[in-house]
Amino acid sequence: MTIWLTPTLLCYGIAFVLFAIDFSSRIQRVTGYAIGALAAGTVFHALDLVSRGVQDGNIPVGNFPQALSFLAWITALAGLILIVRFRVAVIGVLVAPSVLIALGASGAMAGEAGKLPRALRSVWLPVHVTLAFAGEALFVLAATVSLVYLFQESRLKAHRPMLSGQGAMPSLEKLDRINYLLLGWGFVLLTLAILSGALWAQHTWGHFWSWEPRESWSLVTWLLYAGLLESRLTVGWRGRRAATLTIFVFAVLVGSFVGVSLLYPGKHGGTFG
């Protein structure tokens, strides 16, 4: 526990409430405060991670709770950039509670982090971990955008278009375009994470791949997202079908991340076995 955890949770909670008010009541002035609360949360969260990193002597991903907190921070930061850059404040009503729940769960499960063996104290660690979690954060946002897409589409079919504090809800075309952009960059980052991990493993253990559960599921996830992007490029799957598949593949990602991390973390968990 650090002194920064409580203000982080508080800011994320406030952001969630304000985004919800912005979405439901169409009060435009609330949007800026909601974004500000989310931004403040990411700053406090960063300070929390830095404090933990100083205590542990390495990037704070020594166990599953720490990894979950780090992923939540990158997701919050990427979500904040996405909201501001593309003016899609509506996704804040999903991003804010997601990072709040993830960080809360991380705090509830917090335990002593495994000490990194000398072989893993390398510059490759922050590079590999940051690339992997950044890619996963973009996949989180792609699933979030897909949920908004399906919601907006259902409202339009029922002839009940929704408004938010920013004015009209993003068009389906815009949401689909953002989804494709997030999937593309997330796939690039995941590919770089796998390559950096393979090079690091070769340098440390003398082999690129060991087929431990996390590596195997990373490959499965990579193949699924590759197939999803391929279907968009060649088959032309867009809109509702693409959104549904994005959510499905993300569910596989969540299952592998949580399941493998808790059941058999191997070299990617607190035991570093």
pLDDT of residue 269: 53
Mean pLDDT of 180-205: 91
The count of domains in the chain is 1
For the stretch 64-112, pLDDT in tens is: 888 899 999 999 999 999 999 999 999 999 999 999 999 999 988 866 6
Residue 137 near residue 45, CB atoms below 8 Å: no
| Consecutive H or E run containing 174 | helix 172-205
Residue pLDDT, tens place only, 229-249: 999 888 888 889 999 999 999
pLDDT tens, position by position, 24-63? 876 667 889 999 999 999 999 999 999 988 887 778 887 8
Residues 42, 258: Cα–Cα separation, whole Å: 23
**Structural domain of 201:** 5-268
In a domain, 69, yes or no: yes
Query: Hey, what's the torsion of the CAs at 82, 88, 94, 96, to 10 degrees?
Result: 60
Let me know if residue 123 belongs to a domain.
yes
Angle between helices 172-205 and 239-263 (to 10 degrees): 30
pTM over 0.85: yes
The closest alpha carbon to 6, from 35, 39, 60, 47, belongs to 47
Contact 174, 209 (CB under 8 A): no
Q: Backbone phi, then psi, for 16, in 5-degree steps?
A: -60, -45
Residue 268 has pLDDT above 90, yes or no: no
In a domain, 105, yes or no: yes
Q: Is 113 contained in some domain?
A: yes
Q: Kindly state whether residue 273 falls inside one of the protein's structural domains.
A: no
* 38 inside domain: yes
Higher pLDDT, 88 or 212: 88
